[in-house]
Structure 1
């Protein structure tokens, strides 16, 4: 969107440079993407002045050339050789001085130099229209009728227009700024000035003309429709100032009537449309729709089929215009037009948007209507256009203004709290400044209290309907640059993005477990009360009892997935299916002091042998590490890192581990105690894990961390540690990570020994340490230093004896 600085000066007293204005607007959210100069004549005829021909004689050596002396206001006259047939003594002419660059209507630019033409010195050029780029005539030099002094710049005589034009990248929400008035409103707030709006003229009927009536079929599609009849028009080219304004916005002038409607659109943001009044059948304008597939020819001479959903301006005979988008060929203004019906309306953004998209028509009018124009502007804009039509086209008002607006669009009423203003902006804004900013944006502040106020925003601010919008307005005028960022950025909450689909997450885990040979089971949520009473780790008082129980075996809701899962294992084992890998996603229930509580769990069971009996290799029973590696894979896929790991040697486990994430328990994993197995009548070892699926879903992250693969080789060193049996590998590992430094990539255990070759109550771990530097090749000195640090840490932290 292009905005003329010259036109903005009609609204505000701008003393700032175009660059300063650009910076202000960009800072407030109207990003200025470019700044360019506009000149109605390229180069602004710099170096071209008014001269007077003092003498004119034939060139001594050329019949078609004249030798002249010209007064260009510099004291001594200059000699110029001229080839124009109409040059004569006493003429006022335009002279391009030596050093001036002129831009002909056709051809390349020309820079004047002192020259000799047929032996005579020539110090400039007496110019024709086409040589200066202001016309096409080359019949002779331009002869002026003026009293201006010799040496007066040609730009002053020709009233050449110069302007600075802003290119603003308008965001879709700022429909209110799609005009010079809209941009001036923002500058009004930024500069602390008051907009000078043009006076609203009083129109009186001064002529008779065609009688036009208007009917609106649906006020939802067209809440407001206004118009007036103008007669005695003379359609002709616009005055130079209007043409220059349109050209500065990259618009092509057409005629005074159409140019005036375009001027109002870009100046006030209100699209207008002029119909030839004589072409309106029976003098009746109807705002409504036409049947689907009706043919309609638009101003670009293309025949289009209507969808039946677009809003049309029509008469009893047919369509005149696609409302808010494009005019029709049959009703447009031509050179022969003498009377018009001038339309100014507010159309529903939705209906204009749909029609524009359906026909693939994007016009300056549709750009504004589909985003939302000012419903209070149509009559004011109409009067400004009529005033210009009277001045520039000789028009006379031939009717009262028609204004159909049965259901006025109301202002937006928004309750605002100062606390929310300060919280969202990130600093305290004084109430007096809040009020000043909003009122400078034409947003009223009412019902002020110590804690807040009521904001009244006019309906042209389609993007200001909520408290957050009001706060945004305050911030962009106060200045984003005035909100200092702290060294430690933080937010009150972290939004989850994208939103997790819990069903997809569960399905993904199901696929992973199934791919590793596990079978999914679904068990009953109802179970035996005796499990909780005899288990030793469940509180029977927390069982949710069923009032209308079908049997005692289905008397309570389960508190764990353990026992219903063991029942499945028992049934399979009793039928000689002894090698089992199963899992279940299920809900568990508890009774609490506050009421009832439920949560989702994931249970995993391993029992029997890893593989069926075969001649290739002996059978090997499942071990704790098999189940632990499965849990690790699940956590890895969810991008969850376990925090503390502690031993569990209480029911339901013979031994096991508790996994923590911060202060919260992720789950437990271990070998089930024989007493628990007897309750469910299972007669073989079972490894069991139960994970808090709700917590895992909450902590799961779809984000993965990647780093460049090191170009330098990895080094491995091994250590054998003799430690107390009570010390776990996780304790050893945490010490290694803490003291291994940035070079330690991972720690592994490849052998565990417990026997008569070491002291009783001791065990030996054979550990592998993998070292790597991302930036250099490791030297023996660096490796030895790292291993020495690790040895000292193991000796001090876990009382290890290093075996050599």
Structure 2
């Protein structure tokens, strides 16, 4: 309940009564490479360049630090940087006699406007300068620093409690800010619990530094920490404003928390971070942009971006890029900057439409994939695209997959997405399980994808086509009874694919992978082309699947290699074909494949096809015997066959079966 003054006139805006300040917040989208614009100052600097290009001459005003002075030298803290590569520049200063409390309203309002929660006046100032200038800062309670500041790495496994009360195990490559007793802060990432500023703090050591971006990025990822400071450090900040930002923050702290500067600025900067040198060729600018931009305009744009023009010639410019522009280190980067400021919309384009027709062979991978995908779609299959990242634990489900062959991510999002897959099977079974759990149990799935392997001689990628079939063959209908999927249905789909690709000279071989309880392999010139079969129950149980799953795995790289040959064709025969049937009584161990191969060897010219259309095993047959009903298609492409020729061929086949297989006619 708010009690208002009685003299207020109804209709008066509440903003006038409570003296609420109006503000405008602009949200900008930055690409990750633009570390230079991750601050209000950096954005203003870029905005100035754009306005100058449009004829609006504005001045970039920076906060003054001319009032910075040392009041007394009563609290000096020395700094020792042991690794100048990880910390090229380090500055610090002490401030004594401060009072830690809430920040003034103007400071809180500005932090709230950009989504930050105010904490206390010291921390709020460091956050304010961070977003104002892009330089991360950190304040230590000077009373908790033992001896001097030491910037170094610590021993592997060292325990350290951060500001969020989490105990972290440090890596030997983590850069730490330490004192003579131990670590105080993870450099550039997160402060320590014991050295942080509290309400009882009366003196601080204020740090401003430039750290190696790669080191900070690795540390932040290693500990799964992402702070405003690490976000900027790991992308590269401006090494030239380290001391300036320190003085700016020190003056603001004096303004909001009182206190006096009680030491000189301590700076360790043994080797200056140099600017980049780039040669710009005018002809390259015109070639890349597609339009000739006046040379004076190019110079004007570069100067507005703080890029110094050291030399000028008829062909180009010698340039010096400021160190804070970590994304501009090549000539093409400079050309991109010119085009960005000049304006993409100011580039003229031709109204002429040009098209190039590229000739690609019919066996191009994507073409063959489209052909097979269309065929499988027409047979009721659905294409799936699984994530190539999976869990390393899947390698334990098959003895043929080795954990040492896993290609692991350095910084995985989770353990379930930590490794590149060695097989398409397990990601496929994830999809099968997902569908079954949602009452979609009749499945036909296929996927074109790659597997990834790490061997002693390097990394390898292999392309595969996988088929997964499970459940019933067709949807439930009153016109036909339900029939479950079986191995022979899968084999039919596989043979249809090989037939569509014109791959004929194939052989059967025992399946090598141990993921199948039953299966077979199809080879081409002794190389495994396809493996297919029934997936083992223990593997299915791992995914919570209770129904049979039939799986086929094509070596797609070998498929593409085989089909590169020329197409051979023959005319449709003018003369009729003849069919003759035989019912053979054979041993149970005799396979259809052996009969087929024997028939083809016996009559190589006129025998076109052999088909098994009936199998019988029962009490009416002798023990250990079975009956095969076979059809034989005979045709001569040059003439019509006579009965005598046909009978001669059939007699020859019958005699061969009797001799080689011990068969007899029923």
1:183 aligns with 2:43: yes
Residue 299 of structure 2 corresponds to which residue in structure 1? 435
The alpha carbon displacement at 1:360 in A equals 1.2
Query: Which of these residues, 134, 142, 148, is aligned with residue 277 of structure 1?
Result: 142
1:435-490 per-residue CA deviation (whole Å, 9 max, x = no partner) reads: 00111111111211111001211010010000010001001110011113323455
Uncovered stretches (5+) of structure 2, i.e. residues with no partner: 53-57, 368-449, 451-459, 466-496, 508-558, 571-596, 609-637, 639-666
Residue 99 of structure 1 corresponds to which residue in structure 2? 11
- Quote the Cα distance in structure 1 between the aligned partners of 2:365 and 2:261: 60
- Quote the Cα distance in structure 1 between the aligned partners of 2:162 and 2:266: 25
Query: Which of these residues, 505, 521, 529, is aligned with residue 517 of structure 1?
Result: 505
Q: 1:492 to 1:276 in 2, by over 3 A?
A: farther
The alpha carbon displacement at 1:201 in A equals 2.1
Q: Which has the larger radius of gyration?
A: 1
Residue 376 of structure 1 corresponds to which residue in structure 2? 240
Residue 189 of structure 2 corresponds to which residue in structure 1? 325
Q: 1:513 to 1:453 in 2, by over 3 A?
A: same
Matches within 5 A, 1:1-400: 93=5, 96-100=8-12, 153-154=16-17, 158=19, 160-192=20-52, 193-201=58-66, 203-282=68-147, 284-400=148-264
Contact kept? 1:584, 1:603, Cα under 8 Å: no
Q: 1:498 to 1:98 in 2, by over 3 A?
A: farther
Matches within 5 A, 1:602-681: 612=600, 618-619=606-607
Residue 348 of structure 2 corresponds to which residue in structure 1? 484
Q: 1:372 to 1:507 in 2, by over 3 A?
A: closer
- Quote the Cα distance in structure 2 between the aligned partners of 1:507 and 1:293: 43
SS in 2 for 1:330: coil
Q: 1:585 to 1:264 in 2, by over 3 A?
A: closer
Q: 1:161 to 1:216 in 2, by over 3 A?
A: same
Contact kept? 1:174, 1:463, Cα under 8 Å: yes
1:27-52 per-residue CA deviation (whole Å, 9 max, x = no partner) reads: xxxxxxxxxxxxxxxxxxxxxxxxxx
Contact kept? 1:415, 1:455, Cα under 8 Å: yes
- Greater RCO (CA < 8 Å, at least 6 residues apart): 2
Contact kept? 1:210, 1:278, Cα under 8 Å: no
The alpha carbon displacement at 1:199 in A equals 2.5
The alpha carbon displacement at 1:316 in A equals 1.4
- Quote the Cα distance in structure 2 between the aligned partners of 1:217 and 1:493: 61
Contact kept? 1:231, 1:397, Cα under 8 Å: yes
Contact kept? 1:209, 1:398, Cα under 8 Å: yes
- Quote the Cα distance in structure 2 between the aligned partners of 1:511 and 1:215: 74
TM-score (norm 1): 0.46
SS in 2 for 1:229: strand
Contact kept? 2:208, 2:243, Cα under 8 Å: yes
Matches within 5 A, 1:561-572: none
Q: 1:492 to 1:277 in 2, by over 3 A?
A: farther
- Quote the Cα distance in structure 2 between the aligned partners of 1:229 and 1:260: 15
The alpha carbon displacement at 1:605 in A equals 9.5
Q: 1:613 to 1:331 in 2, by over 3 A?
A: closer
SS in 1 for 2:25: strand
1:362-401 per-residue CA deviation (whole Å, 9 max, x = no partner) reads: 1110110011001111101011111112222212111111
Q: 1:472 to 1:94 in 2, by over 3 A?
A: farther
1:1-28 per-residue CA deviation (whole Å, 9 max, x = no partner) reads: xxxxxxxxxxxxxxxxxxxxxxxxxxxx
Contact kept? 1:161, 1:244, Cα under 8 Å: no
SS in 2 for 1:252: coil
Question: Over the residues paired in the alignment, what is the CA RMSD in angstroms?
Answer: 4.0
Residue 464 of structure 1 corresponds to which residue in structure 2? 328
Residue 562 of structure 1 corresponds to which residue in structure 2? none
Contact kept? 2:365, 2:560, Cα under 8 Å: no
Contact kept? 2:498, 2:504, Cα under 8 Å: no
- Quote the Cα distance in structure 2 between the aligned partners of 1:169 and 1:94: 48
- Quote the Cα distance in structure 2 between the aligned partners of 1:404 and 1:357: 27
Q: 1:362 to 1:499 in 2, by over 3 A?
A: farther
Total equivalences in the alignment: 402
Contact kept? 1:175, 1:371, Cα under 8 Å: yes
- Quote the Cα distance in structure 1 between the aligned partners of 2:334 and 2:277: 11
1:338-374 per-residue CA deviation (whole Å, 9 max, x = no partner) reads: 1111000001111111111111111110110011001
SS in 1 for 2:26: strand
Q: 1:83 to 1:619 in 2, by over 3 A?
A: closer
The alpha carbon displacement at 1:305 in A equals 1.4
1:396-423 per-residue CA deviation (whole Å, 9 max, x = no partner) reads: 1111111111111110100110111111
- Quote the Cα distance in structure 2 between the aligned partners of 1:351 and 1:427: 41
- Quote the Cα distance in structure 1 between the aligned partners of 2:462 and 2:172: 46
The alpha carbon displacement at 1:241 in A equals 1.2
- Quote the Cα distance in structure 2 between the aligned partners of 1:493 and 1:228: 67
